[in-house]
Structure 1
Amino acid sequence: MKKLVLTGAAGRLGSYLREPLTKMCDELVSTDMVADIGKTLPGETYVQADLGDLSALEAILAGADMVVHFGAIGDEAEWDAILHSNIIGAYNVWEAAYRQGVRRVVYASSVHAVGMHLKTDVIGLDAPHKPDTYYGLAKCFCEDLASLYWDKRGVESVCMRIFSCAQANNARALGTWLSYGDLIHLVERSIDTPVVGFTKVYGISNNDRVVVDNSKAAHLGYRPKDNAEVFAKEILAKTPPLDNKDLANLCIGGPFATVELGNSGVAGLGVVDDRKKI
């Protein structure tokens, strides 16, 4: 491809995508709200932009083949903040993509669009939306937005429902872990699959204790290789018995299932900020 755009390039997950994406195109345009992203890679340029600015996004997406959209608040937050970054910002991405003739949006959706479903249900991709927070509700909106823009305007989308893409350091992660290597593989397959239309896929590794069924996304060719079971002995040795009546343990959204609306869910996950240094 000639040009790819990556939103959210300054974020933790974005930091792992920048280098692989430069290998898939002649020009990678990375964008985020920070003034300076630091060192750029060969073939990469950086543009500071607010997702709330449609005209800025139109300029950035001009001539792009696809946009990999990871820019958003990555946690539960107050409604006004979620509305601006995660809902209006996403609308602007799809609308700018349509106006500029961009073929496909590869979108960082989330487990939290279906976070109130039980782990023991092992839901498929046809399970109804069941958000656990404003953050999850925004992901539901964006998935429906992606579906609408495919049906009415011909913009393809892959909505990757990302699970626990961080260091596996808690019992929940044994079933929900997504390694950085598998994240990169998923994004690559979402880009290089010839035709996707509107596709949903669970962003989760090949865990023995996997909590969802990804079979209806087989056409993407996403075949995760990593397995959180390698961490099981160490994690379970330090984990006391879990309360089997606590929704944070029962639901696939984990602590997002029990936090008050507007309050951080990530705070209960012990996420390590191990973003990749360029």
Structure 2
Amino acid sequence: MKKLVLTGAAGRLGSYLREPLSKMCDTLVSTDIADDIGTLYPGETYVKGDLASLDDMMKVCEGADMIVHFGAFVDEGPFEQLLGPNFIGAYNVWEAAHRHGARRVVYASSIHAVGMYPKNEFIGTDVPHRPDTFYGLAKCFAEDLGRMYWEKRGLESVHMRILSCAQVNNARALGSWLSYDDLIQLVTRCIETPVTGFSVIYGVSNNDRAPVDNASASFLGYRPQDNAEDFAAEVLAQTDPLDPQDSGHMCHGGPFAAVDLGQSGLANMTIVDDRKTT
């Protein structure tokens, strides 16, 4: 491909995607609201841009074959805080992609779009939305937006419902973990698959305890290699018995399912910021 665009390039997941994406195209345009993202990879350029600005997204998406959209406010918060980057930002990315004739948007959706389903329900990619927060609601909005732009305007999109892409240091992650290597494979398959239309796939590794079903998305060729069971003995030895009446333990959304609307979900998690540095 001639040009890929990566939004959210300054984020933790974006830091692991920049190098492999730069090798898939002549030019990778990375964008975020940070002033810079450090040393660039060969073929990579950085453009500071605000997702909430259609003008900014029009500039970065010009000439792009595909947009890999990872930019967002990545936590629960008041609706007004998420409105610009997560809701309006999604519209701006899809609209800019459409106006510039891009082929596909590969989107970092989230398990929080369906986070209120009980974890003992093995859910597929076709279950109705059941968001756990305003953050999850924004993911529902972007998924519906992607379906509409496919059906009305022919713009393909793949929506990766990432469960938890972080170090395995809690019991929930034994089922929800997505390793960085599997993340890279997943995004690569979403880009390289010849035809996707509108598709949804769960972003999860090959965990013995994975609570979701990707059978309907097998055509994407995603075959995860890592398994959180490697960490199970250590994690469970450090974990007190969980409360089955606590929605944070019982629901797919984990801590996000338990917080009040507008209150941080990350505040109740122990995510290690191990972003990759060039």
The TM-score by the shorter chain falls in which range? over 0.9
CA distance in 2, matches of 1:206, 1:137: 27
Shift of residue 78, structure 1, vs aligned partner = 1.1
For residue 219 of structure 2, what is the aligned residue in structure 1? 219
For residue 86 of structure 2, what is the aligned residue in structure 1? 86
For residue 165 of structure 1, what is the aligned residue in structure 2? 165
Equivalent position SS for 1:120: coil
For residue 259 of structure 2, what is the aligned residue in structure 1? 259
**Of 54-63 and 175-184, the range deviating more from structure 2:** 54-63
Question: TM (normalized to structure 2)?
Answer: 0.99
Shift of residue 245, structure 1, vs aligned partner = 1.0
Structure 1 vs Structure 2 CA RMSD: 0.5
CA distance in 1, matches of 2:126, 2:170: 28
CA distance in 1, matches of 2:37, 2:236: 38
Describe the superposition over 1:192-251 as per-residue Cα deviations: whole angstroms up to 9, x where unpaired: 000000000000000000101110000100000000000000000010111111111110
Superposition map of 1:124-163 within 5 A: 124-163=124-163
Within the alignment, does 1:47 sit opposite 2:47 as a pair?
Answer: yes
For residue 3 of structure 1, what is the aligned residue in structure 2? 3
- Aligned-partner residue type, residue 164 of structure 1: S
Aligned-residue identity in percent: 66
CA distance in 1, matches of 2:56, 2:257: 35
- Aligned-partner residue type, residue 80 of structure 1: E
Segments ≥4 residues shifted beyond 3 Å:
none
- Aligned-partner residue type, residue 50 of structure 2: D
Within the alignment, does 1:229 sit opposite 2:229 as a pair?
Answer: yes
CA distance in 2, matches of 1:271, 1:264: 13
Equivalent position SS for 2:120: helix
Describe the superposition over 1:64-123 as per-residue Cα deviations: whole angstroms up to 9, x where unpaired: 100000000111011111111100001000000000001000000000000000111101
Shift of residue 52, structure 1, vs aligned partner = 1.0
Shift of residue 172, structure 1, vs aligned partner = 0.3
Query: Which ranges of structure 2 fall in alignment gaps of 5 or more residues?
Result: none
For residue 27 of structure 2, what is the aligned residue in structure 1? 27
For residue 109 of structure 1, what is the aligned residue in structure 2? 109
For residue 119 of structure 2, what is the aligned residue in structure 1? 119
Shift of residue 19, structure 1, vs aligned partner = 0.2
**Of 51-60 and 230-239, the range deviating more from structure 2:** 51-60
CA distance in 2, matches of 1:138, 1:229: 31
**Of 142-151 and 264-273, the range deviating more from structure 2:** 264-273
For residue 73 of structure 2, what is the aligned residue in structure 1? 73
- Aligned-partner residue type, residue 45 of structure 2: T
Equivalent position SS for 1:121: coil
CA distance in 1, matches of 2:190, 2:137: 23
CA distance in 2, matches of 1:4, 1:148: 22
Question: TM (normalized to structure 1)?
Answer: 0.99
CA distance in 1, matches of 2:262, 2:247: 18
For residue 246 of structure 1, what is the aligned residue in structure 2? 246
CA distance in 2, matches of 1:244, 1:49: 43
CA distance in 1, matches of 2:277, 2:5: 20
CA distance in 2, matches of 1:13, 1:228: 18
Shift of residue 189, structure 1, vs aligned partner = 0.1
Equivalent position SS for 1:119: coil
Within the alignment, does 1:57 sit opposite 2:57 as a pair?
Answer: yes
Query: Which ranges of structure 1 fall in alignment gaps of 5 or more residues?
Result: none
